[in-house]
Structure 1
């Protein structure tokens, strides 16, 4: 698809990954495996070219086993040329690609892009982030939330059990769904709050479970319910492995027990379970505005190695 001197098209296959990865990004090393596993497809992987020069690119990702794109997680603009031209090229690439990639009658998948943790304080990084956002806004996208991407690294001390809580495996799916439903009351998570504008709490919990927790490749007996000595549940954690890393998938305290510092004990238990597997790192994420959760991760020795910009189309 050509307009003036710009060619916009999907890549032909894995043979064009060298072309697609001319623009740097942390996900470049994962693209080949994702294509083999079906989490990406050439028809979801687009480039904008001026001659043989890559000036912009975009790619969508799906969860293992899915048939439709779930996330726009690669979108980059070449740093050469006038600022307005870069934004215009990016918007043209997105409009052209989305007309093909996004199923008719549906909203485009959410955009999620990792950025440096201090991107606002670095002029070059800030310009790149803001130009990508400007291009997305021209297609109708708006900022949804900024998130912290967190990492515990092997060798970081893990607190010993404090004795206030007891931990046991989750009994069954019904128990985890019941707990997930309870913790939605007063949640600070932007995605959960958005789900609750359209769904009752139980349905929102089921959707989250089916979209994420049920897809983990790791044993469910890693999951833990935290209780008081008398057996009353106060929260839970789901240490797991996704397709890429060990993760703290879900971590929460039920509303009646918030404010007692239990989040630290629960996070420590989840971290201990994964550290015992000999993993080199544990990944986690929380909203920038969810200060209680962000502070708990910081106290547990997790560092912010990236931030994530999420944008959506209304």
Structure 2
């Protein structure tokens, strides 16, 4: 589509990746593998061009094996192209054109998720870039949903020895983990879970989370751990795993009846030990900015906040 010398179109295939990655982002190095694996598709990968110059881009991602986009995770504007309003206008035109082709008519667009520097609000240059992208997304109907901390444990960071307060065992079966996931939704501080609970029962929300995330892990389920008291009563659980990119602490929770006793530290340490024993160079995790108890637990365990994630949603 061309308008006022702006061409908006999807890339033709892997041969145009060099064009698409002219704008920098940490995900650029993953794009080729994602296209090969089917987690991205050329028809979901869009550019806005003025002549041969890339002035904006957008791309959607899906989980391995899926047929529909799950997340809009690349959206960039060329910092050197016109004024801030010009850049926002180009971004809006790109998004509207691409979304009309990628998102089925009447469907809710996939959520937007973008990694940003941890101190982006204190850096005028970084805040301008983030705010311009958000302004363009808002003009298409998106609103800020949540800001999240992206966390990383690095090989060589000390891991706490077991305190002896809890016992750990593998998860028996899918029903056991689903039952515990249902229970921990009571009083959850997680924004996505709270949003799910506005439309679904706790059990339905747990099943959705399991099917959207845990079921897609590439690693053995016997890495997952149930934390119990010495008498066998469950206290919480952790799902150390490997996704398509990194070792991760996928889900970490304490049952409502046992919160406030510091068990989160024991459970996180166990999940970290499971993955560290695999010789991984890093372990990734994330939690909402507003989930202060969880963020503090990760900090105590030696995880560093290396990025934040801006999530925006439509509808």
**For the superposition of Structure 1 and Structure 2, which TM-score range results when normalised by the shorter chain?**
over 0.9
Tell me the alpha carbon deviations over residues 141-167 of structure 1, each in whole angstroms, 9 at most, x when there is no partner: 000000000000000000000000000
Q: Distance between the aligned counterparts of 2:105 and 2:85, measured in 1?
A: 30
| SS of match in other structure, 1:270 | helix
| SS of match in other structure, 1:170 | coil
- 2:240 aligns with 239
Q: What is the TM-score when the length of structure 1 is the normalising length? A: 1.00
Size of the aligned set, in residue pairs, is 314
Q: Distance between the aligned counterparts of 1:154 and 1:58, measured in 2?
A: 34
- 2:10 aligns with 10
- Superposition RMSD in Å: 0.4
- 2:122 aligns with 121
- 2:263 aligns with 262
- 1:42 aligns with 42
Q: Structure 2 unaligned runs (5+)?
A: none
| SS of match in other structure, 2:286 | strand
State how 1:1-314 maps to structure 2 within 5 Å.
Answer: 1-80=1-80, 81-314=82-315
Q: Structure 1 unaligned runs (5+)?
A: none
Report the Cα offset of residue 113 of structure 1: 0.3
Query: Deviating runs (4+, > 2 A) in structure 1?
Result: none
Q: Distance between the aligned counterparts of 1:191 and 1:9, measured in 2?
A: 32
Report the Cα offset of residue 296 of structure 1: 0.2
Q: Distance between the aligned counterparts of 2:176 and 2:314, measured in 1?
A: 34
Tell me the alpha carbon deviations over residues 1-50 of structure 1, each in whole angstroms, 9 at most, x when there is no partner: 00111000000000000000000000000000000000000000000000
| SS of match in other structure, 1:204 | helix
Q: Distance between the aligned counterparts of 2:174 and 2:55, measured in 1?
A: 47
